[in-house]
């Protein structure tokens, strides 16, 4: 962890128009929650569906995509990363710092809003709110690690990430059961499922498998990002 890199990254992330993007989605979730509550549509079933569909399956991957790719992708694209790479700092430290910043951003803009939306919708009923909060938090680690690695590895990280989150997890997941099991979303849902007795929350992946895969994916992605950054090719101007 390097404080200077973290400071620069936070300023870059929160100073751009990207910050509005970060803020928009969670606001939408909160407005939705308050709306449902005000119109009396806040039974357990609807609340669970809202938190799952909007919080865990949409807000989380999109926020993690914006934060995970945003902490390092633009810096690589416009060459600013040179200023960090030409310092006697281990590449692992750079990647870990970027990852921590992404996780902090995901926590502020996805985990906390999920918690607030849960409290508005279901209060503490059936442990629904803490279960989703933990699920989104754990998912935030895994998604951030994957998207940071993707941003280091490819200039098309955002496109690839969107394809993964929207096409693979959401679309294919509803048709092919196999694809469903190989998705961060389902692993997080498995953890949420284990923490709440609300019946609408069901995951197709067993808890031990989900936990193992989440840890493995986070660790492998972080390692790959650091490895790749050690030999980051710089686009030659020649």
We find the least distance from the C-beta atom of residue 90 to other proteins, in angstroms, to be 7
User: In angstroms, rounded to a whole number, what is the distance separating the alpha carbons of residues 152 and 80?
Assistant: 13
We find the least distance from the C-beta atom of residue 228 to other proteins, in angstroms, to be 12
Q: What are the Cα distances from residue 70, in Å, to 60, 163, 164, 179, 187?
A: 15, 17, 17, 27, 24
Strand residue runs (E) in the chain: none
Measured from the CB atom, the residue of 220 and 234 that comes closer to other proteins is: 234
Measured from the CB atom, the residue of 20 and 237 that comes closer to other proteins is: 237
Classify residue 53 by its DSSP letter: I
Measured from the CB atom, the residue of 13 and 111 that comes closer to other proteins is: 13
Measured from the CB atom, the residue of 39 and 238 that comes closer to other proteins is: 238
We find the least distance from the C-beta atom of residue 24 to other proteins, in angstroms, to be 21
Nearest to 210 by CA among 238, 230, 182, 234: 182
CA atoms within 13 A on the CB side of 201: 29
- A 10 A CB-CB count for 135 gives 30
Classify residue 2 by its DSSP letter: -
Chain contacts with other proteins (rule: CB under 8 A): 2-5, 7-8, 11-12, 15, 78-80, 82-91, 230-234, 236-238
We find the least distance from the C-beta atom of residue 87 to other proteins, in angstroms, to be 4
Classify residue 126 by its DSSP letter: G
Backbone conformation region of residue 40, classed left if phi is above 0, alpha if psi is from -120 to 50, else beta: left
Measured from the CB atom, the residue of 13 and 142 that comes closer to other proteins is: 13
We find the least distance from the C-beta atom of residue 233 to other proteins, in angstroms, to be 6
């Amino acid at each position: 962890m390097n404080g200077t890199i973290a400071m620069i990254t936070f300023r870059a992330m929160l100073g751009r128009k990207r910050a509005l993007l970060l803020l928009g989605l969670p606001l939408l979730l909160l407005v939705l929650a308050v709306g449902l509550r005000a119109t009396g549509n806040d039974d357990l079933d609807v609340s669970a569906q809202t938190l799952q569909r909007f919080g865990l399956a949409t807000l989380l991957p999109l926020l993690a995509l914006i934060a995970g790719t945003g902490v390092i992708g633009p810096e690589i694209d416009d060459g600013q990363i040179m200023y960090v790479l030409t310092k006697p700092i281990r590449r692992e430290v750079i990647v870990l710092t970027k990852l921590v910043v992404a996780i902090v951003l995901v926590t502020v803009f996805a985990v906390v809003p999920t918690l607030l939306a849960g409290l508005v919708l279901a209060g503490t009923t059936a442990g629904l709110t803490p279960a989703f909060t933990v699920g989104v938090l754990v998912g935030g680690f895994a998604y951030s690690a994957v998207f940071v690695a993707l941003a280091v590895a490819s200039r098309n990280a955002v496109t690839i990430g969107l394809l993964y989150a929207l096409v693979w997890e959401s679309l294919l997941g509803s048709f092919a059961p196999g694809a469903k099991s190989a998705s961060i979303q389902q692993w997080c849902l498995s953890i949420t499922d284990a923490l709440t007795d609300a019946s609408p929350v069901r995951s197709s992946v067993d808890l031990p498998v989900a936990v193992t895969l989440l840890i493995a994916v986070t660790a492998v992605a972080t390692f790959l990002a650091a490895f790749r950054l050690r030999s980051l090719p710089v686009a030659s101007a020649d």
